[in-house]
Chains A and B, each alone.
Chain A
């Protein structure tokens, strides 16, 4: 379980202190316009940037007191895409950061529709395929390093996991994230740009704006016409067939 008590960042990029919890089995969507501080929030949650005010507790212990190697058993990060420097095979890359069983790797590749690419070099994959490989790696780290006495599946953080996926793959990925959350009692936080995906699949939504969380709660309460038109500076037509369709 992840708990934020007035956790914030003072140095740029800043983050206004915020509180909240992320429970096992929950899927949290972090949404907001470009430059709103979504990725900054994610690096705070992952501990890459230690919080400068307040506290961030994982399983009741402040994040900085966790030895970095032990913390890696409990939380994994899928960052925004960086081009891989060297030509790893898909299977090798998925196994980086843990020592998974062959069965687990095969299962994850299957779940993310990557089995046919298992022996391919990641440099030869498309952007969307590579993105799914990195998501499989993050899940693999959590599942294979799960401690025997752990009661939940840890914390998986994803930064824009759907940015390079087609709409079919986006749906499949979000459904898979939900499945991981409920099967393994994993807590999942992901930065999303697609508000339809967020409202369909997330339990909670945090709406970010200029380094500040301006709304949080169930999707129906956060993703309102008033919030969205203010934060994204767009005019919205009344809901028709799609959940939100920009006015022409």
Chain B
């Protein structure tokens, strides 16, 4: 037998029964459309999405809906899907239900760079979303390269999971300290901007940023979805997964790069929105089982639903003022997560 010839028995890994995943995913997609429709009609100005789409609403409402509300909905959808999807992928990569992008230091690294931009570069000039975007992107990328450098030095070429985790821990600490120093240096106006952004909010949504976000997030999610069967295999442990045909270094690189690009962008645009990446995959796993071919897309859809809904709440609860949606998700998500941990003795 010639080993160079391709495996002509095509191997699809794991389950699931197609009918069930189709049902679950189409149900979630419908729920997302419904959430978008409801969320599009709530707010300080009650505008029916049908009236806005058909152009029959008054000019002011039309402008508000098209220029403010719609991009904001779409940004919420993209960020929610990205955070929950990358959380699910990270948990699979680390084989640990408590992992998420903040664990690797990606979010805090991106956050530190954005804060650096606001305080040192932007100075007293008007805030620039593109600058923040580039800074967050750069921050996540630097963290990504740094942790791979550290991990491959220790792991003899392949990034060992434990060294990745420890590198993330060190970066989180460093970024926290750096953020503290920057807050000390910042002017009053910058401090206000920093703290608002740091709480997590979708108010920055404009068409040009939302369009970029949608494109980048779609690319990152596509990369993650392509890794689903490999993530399943990785659950066997590295040596066994390697023997079952998995290119481990490949998979790690793809998941970490997709996550750092997507999360870096999300952090730059919206600040840190907590608990989605941890909570959504966790709950879905209880319902759907641990197979990533269903868990990944379901997490992305549910993350989008949750963030769009939470943002609608944040816009209406204290209207006309609005609450940072990151605070809301943490306030709702934290206690629920504690409840889950207490109810279940098992760690997953």
Contacts and interface: CB of A to CB of B under 8 A. Distances in A.
Contact of B243 (A46, A58, A84): A46
B59 interface: no
A70 B6 contact: yes
Interface string A57-92: 011010001111111110111110010111111001
A98 B244 CA distance: 8
Interface in A81-118: 82, 84-89, 92, 95-99
B348 interface: yes
Interface stretch (B110-118, B189-197, B233-241): B233-241
A147 B4 contact: no
Given A67-B4, A92-B291, A84 B235 contact: yes
A96 B9 contact: no
A72 B14 contact: no
Interface in A5-64: 43, 46-48, 58-59, 61
B208 interface: no
Contact of B247 (A61, A68, A75, A98): A68
B6 to A, nearest CB: 7
Which among A65, A98, A138 has the highest number of chain B CB atoms within 10 Å? A98
A96 B3 contact: no
- What secondary structure prevails in chain B residues at the interface with A? loop
A167 interface: no
B346 interface: yes
A212 interface: no
What range describes how many residues of A lie at the interface?
Answer: 35 or more
Interface string B201-241: 00000000000000000000000000000001101111111
B304 to A, nearest CB: 23
Contacts of A96: 13-14, 232-233, 235-236, 244
Contacts of A178: none
A150 interface: yes
Which among A47, A75, A96 has the highest number of chain B CB atoms within 10 Å? A96
17 contacts: A46-B242, A47-B242, A48-B242, A48-B243, A59-B3, A70-B6, A71-B245, A75-B243, A77-B239, A78-B240, A79-B239, A85-B95, A86-B290, A92-B289, A97-B240, A141-B244, A147-B7
Interface of A: 43, 46-48, 58-59, 61, 65-73, 75-79, 82, 84-89, 92, 95-99, 123, 134, 137-138, 141, 145, 147-150, 157
